[in-house]
Structure 1
Amino acid sequence: MSGISLNGLASGLNTGEMIESLMKLERIPYEKLGTKKSTLSEEQGLIRGINTKLVTLRSAVADLMYSTSYNLTSAKASDSSVFSVTATDQAVTGSYNVNVTQLAKKHVVSSGEFSKTGQDLTAGAKFNLFGSGGATAAEITIKGANNQEVLNNLKNDINAAKKGVTASIVETTPGKQTLVLTTDKFGADADIQFGTMPGTPDGHVYLDGSDALLKSLGIKKADNSLNTRQSAQNATAEVNGITVSSASNELKDIIPGVTINLLKENASSTITVATDTDKIAAKIQTFVDAYNDAITAVRSNSAKDAKMQGDSTLRTLQSELNELVNGQVKGTGAYKFLFEIGLEIDKGVTSGKEMTGKLTFDKNKFTEAYNKDPGAVADLFSSNAAAANKDKGIATRLYNGLFNWTKTGTGLLAYKVSGYDADLKTITQQMEDMNLRLTMKEKQLQKQFTAMETALSSLNNEKSWMSSQINSWG
């Protein structure tokens, strides 16, 4: 009879509902544990999120700990039609006159001009093409029923060979075509030549075939020279009077940290490399955004009626962040506080209810302060002169201080996360044990009510028998 409920057949009671009601009461402690587990899991997730924001903040201030972050430059050309210019953040400042005398060009060679429907080219003839990929040649075969097919097959086979030259077909006049070969690279050292690739590839493209074949194609002229349409050449320019040469139209690091892309021959333009305060301000803005993101997460989750209202760890973190950002820097520079260069917490806020703890960034004030004393701005952030961390530069002390909070495994937030892990593990085990007991309790109640119904049924049967016996006496 174990596990079988007669559900009031004898007693007339809804024993199923009675068991369900009793088990709801029994499960109240279990449900409370489930709520507690959910709360702890949510809090743990919040702590992990705050830790991520602090790691982002630490990365942002790490970029402000070095003097190079306050010497960022950019380059501009006075005439961008002559050349375009890009620069690294640490390009050397100065003014440079660049006179472009010659652009780098690719070697362009063509075949003769052929009627599309003609049959001037003999199928089956072959020549070798050397270039990219080393001394191994690609064998190119003349094939096709007419000149148009031959030229088209040559184009496809040459391009498929990938030997440093690209073929195309140009219709020179109606009904007539020519094959055009253009080197993939610029410069004199990547031109097309006749012969066989040397054992050590030298960057040139080589055509190796019989004179009769190459002349029938028109690639080799009667004087045995190439049918060149554009000669390969290097770029040449003068930078502040010094002649430079390049196999491409890109002049890289001729001016340290600057790349020049030449666009026009026989033309001049001036490059100005100067300190770029916008780039420097952008790094400061990245720090401000990361700080505001972190402090907002800390304050919003520990404020009144928040999920972690009054949490001691978050209160301590909020206090430390405020101290690290607002405290005086004991460096050698003229600036000692962030507000002196345009960064201020809760600027203009007078009511405690309106305070957010967030930084505001006045870019104009920052630029003015930087232009007045760039070294002092750098010192305010990156100074490492003071013995105590709280007296170092803003970026330096934040970087050091946040390490105690964010260190993997042993940081304060990692320690708090591991504490949640332990609590959650304990609660999970308690819930598993309690659920087992509840299951046993429910089975026990079912047995008890089933036994009761069985007993009542037996008594009812006996009662009916006795009544029938008494009635028979009359």
Structure 2
Amino acid sequence: MTASIGGLISGLDTNSLITQLLRAEAVPQAALKTRLSIAKATAEAYRSVNTRFDAVRTAAEAMLKPEAWSAVKATSSASSVAASATAGAPTGSLTFDVKNTAAAHSVVSGINWTATTDPYGMTSPIEVRAADGSVKGTITVGGSGTLADAVQAINDSEFGLSATAVKVADGQYRLQVTSETSGAATSFDLGTAGTFAVATQGVDATLTVGSGTGAYDVTSSTNTFADLMSGVTITVSKPETAVTVEVAADPGAVVSKMQALVDAANQALSGIKTNTDPDGGAAATLKGDSALRALAGRVLEAVSFAVGADGSPATIGLQLTKDGTIAFDAAKFSAALADDPALAQRLGAGGPAGPGPDGVSGNADDVVPGVAQRLLDAAKAASDTTIGTLTLLAEGRDDLAGDLQDKIEAWDVRLIARRTALTRQFTAMETALSGLQSQSSWLAGQLNSLPSWS
């Protein structure tokens, strides 16, 4: 008779006993798993806050670019004329007529084919000539020498041409070839004289500035005129008269950048509050974290401290609220920009403040950091990929998690070995009990076989 680990001989639920014994022995491993979960959650919380500080860094860097404070906007009086200006472009206006738009040169064959599989039939190789009649090169029609082969050869050539077989009626195809670029200089002809006719003449786009004796034309091979006005790009789409393009300061763009910086800073403060709130429950993974509280302090100080002799950032609409966030008054900021742009820029970004401690003007110590520079410094201290506070804290938790994972895996090996040992012990017990039970049955049978004496 073979014993069973299930306790058929002893009557004990040995599988359950082994499970309970292993559960008791695995208590230290369970504690390690709890610590691992906390370490991972903490690392993730640090990274979440770090992402928000990285957004502060990006917004602050945008605010610190000199061109951010000299934003301009180009507008056009005609919907068919688009205008854009780079930061720092001089303000001013220009009025002009759009005489014509640019066109790509196109030619069409003088003969028809009944199908694209018909023989090309014209001279091959095809001669390509410039507008002045000079030969630029030739195109050899390969394959079977059909119209389709001619189209393919032209498209594959190095002359910047696009060919297509146009179906003009049932059983009638004509070969049209167009320059891939526009402008008068792209004019060309194909084949021998008279083989192709001009379908569209290649021309430059032309603007006429002025209407008197001093009026002049401006041309472009495309419909885009770069630097017609310094830093301004104009794109036309159809003839138009009396179009005025104006370049003016764009304080709204500066306001938007400052709003983006304030929003990013408030998001960083919100992330810190969520993760450190003593009453935040499970979501507050970093309760009492002094490093995060210090970072929050730096963000708030960036707005609360005066900027050199220029005074408080409140002058340009930046101040703290009672709930520990940054308030931004866009209207006040816009007014400050209009009233004293240099002061607004010094408070918002930073700037020269006169001779520094060395008494010499023009040195690095002469520059007083404004709100954006302070926020940039705070963001770099938090999220620098090498020495940032949040970066190092997250990496430290990652290292701890890796160590805990190794210990948990070591416990897995230990518990497997323990289960094997317990299983062997209970199996041996069941086997021994089975043997004893067999001996008892044999003895009972022997006793029962003895004769009875009355």
Return the TM-score normalized by structure 1.
Answer: 0.76
2:344 matched to which residue of 1?
377
2:159 matched to which residue of 1?
163
Aligned to 1:126, the other structure's residue is in SS state coil
1:231 and 1:440 map into 2 onto residues whose CA distance is 89
Deviations 1:143-187 (A, max 9, x none): 99xxxx97x886676456473344567799999886555433332
1:331 and 1:236 map into 2 onto residues whose CA distance is 54
2:371 matched to which residue of 1?
394
Name whichever of 382-391 and 102-111 sits farther off: 382-391
In 1, are the aligned partners of 2:304 and 2:312 still within 8 Å (CA)?
no
2:200 and 2:367 map into 1 onto residues whose CA distance is 68
Change (3 A) 1:331 1:176: farther
Counting matched residue pairs gives: 424
2:315 matched to which residue of 1?
340
1:310 and 1:163 map into 2 onto residues whose CA distance is 71
1:327 matched to which residue of 2?
305
1:23 matched to which residue of 2?
22
Q: Does 2:232 align with 1:261?
A: no
2:445 and 2:114 map into 1 onto residues whose CA distance is 123
Runs of 5+ unmatched residues, structure 1: 194-206, 220-226, 350-354
2:394 and 2:120 map into 1 onto residues whose CA distance is 81
Aligned to 1:248, the other structure's residue is in SS state coil
Deviations 1:107-145 (A, max 9, x none): 34455476979xxx993643524379x95521359x99x
Q: Does 2:37 align with 1:38?
A: yes
Q: Does 2:333 align with 1:366?
A: yes
2:268 matched to which residue of 1?
294
Q: Does 2:426 align with 1:428?
A: no
Name whichever of 243-252 and 262-271 sits farther off: 262-271
1:162 and 1:89 map into 2 onto residues whose CA distance is 39
Q: Does 2:292 align with 1:308?
A: no
How far 1:23 sits from its partner (Å)? Answer: 1.6
Change (3 A) 1:228 1:460: closer
1:282 and 1:315 map into 2 onto residues whose CA distance is 28
2:367 and 2:288 map into 1 onto residues whose CA distance is 25
1:237 matched to which residue of 2?
207
Aligned to 1:268, the other structure's residue is in SS state strand
Matched to 1:256, the amino acid is S
Change (3 A) 1:174 1:289: same
2:386 and 2:451 map into 1 onto residues whose CA distance is 90
1:441 and 1:186 map into 2 onto residues whose CA distance is 83
In 1, are the aligned partners of 2:120 and 2:150 still within 8 Å (CA)?
no
2:165 and 2:53 map into 1 onto residues whose CA distance is 61
Aligned to 1:92, the other structure's residue is in SS state coil
Deviations 1:329-362 (A, max 9, x none): 2254xx621x33334444xx6xxxxx3x443433
Matched to 2:10, the amino acid is S
2:440 and 2:305 map into 1 onto residues whose CA distance is 93
Aligned to 2:287, the other structure's residue is in SS state coil
1:12 matched to which residue of 2?
11
Please give the residue correspondences for 1:73-152 in structure 2 after superposition, counting only pairs within 5 Å: 73-81=72-80, 83-112=81-110, 123=121, 125-126=123-124, 128-130=126-128, 136-139=137-140
In 2, are the aligned partners of 1:327 and 1:391 still within 8 Å (CA)?
no
How far 1:406 sits from its partner (Å)? Answer: 1.5
1:168 and 1:292 map into 2 onto residues whose CA distance is 59
2:181 matched to which residue of 1?
185
Runs of 5+ unmatched residues, structure 2: 357-364
How far 1:73 sits from its partner (Å)? Answer: 0.8
Change (3 A) 1:455 1:360: same
Matched to 1:262, the amino acid is V
Name whichever of 261-270 and 32-41 sits farther off: 261-270
Change (3 A) 1:242 1:447: same
Deviations 1:29-81 (A, max 9, x none): 21121121112111111111221221121011011113211111111122334
Change (3 A) 1:435 1:157: closer
